[in-house]
Amino acid sequence: MSILDLLQKGKRKREKQVRRKVAIGATLGMTIGAVAGVLLAPKAGKDTRTDLAKNAQDLTETIKEISVKTQDLVDEAKERLSEKSHEIMSDVKEKISDIKKEKNEDSATK
């Protein structure tokens, strides 16, 4: 398994954790807010149903917005990680080349 594979595996794991935490937090917060609003507002059944429908629609829109923002963050993180992994691979290749060159020079002087 190469260094790049390890970096990508770690990146995917972190991205999954971030998406999961954001989704859980957003969903939980919106659900609690909607339930509290319904329970604390003394309204007629029809008004309550209308409010529930509106809250459900708002919740759906908010989840979509959060999903888009999360995907943007993930894409940005992917780009940064990709750039960093290329830098690391370039540095590793350069070090390997330097070591080989030193080894060849040592062999030539003996």
- Structure confidence at residue 1 (pLDDT): 63
Q: Which domain holds residue 49?
A: 3-109
- Structure confidence at residue 24 (pLDDT): 86
| Domains: count for the chain | 1
Q: What is the pLDDT of residues 8-18, one digit of tens each?
A: 888 888 888 88
Segments in the chain below pLDDT 70: 1, 110
Euclidean distance between CA atoms 69 and 37, whole angstroms: 26
pTM: 0.46
Q: Which long-range contacts (CB under 8 A, 24 or more apart) does 24-29 make?
A: 26/62, 26/63, 26/66, 27/63
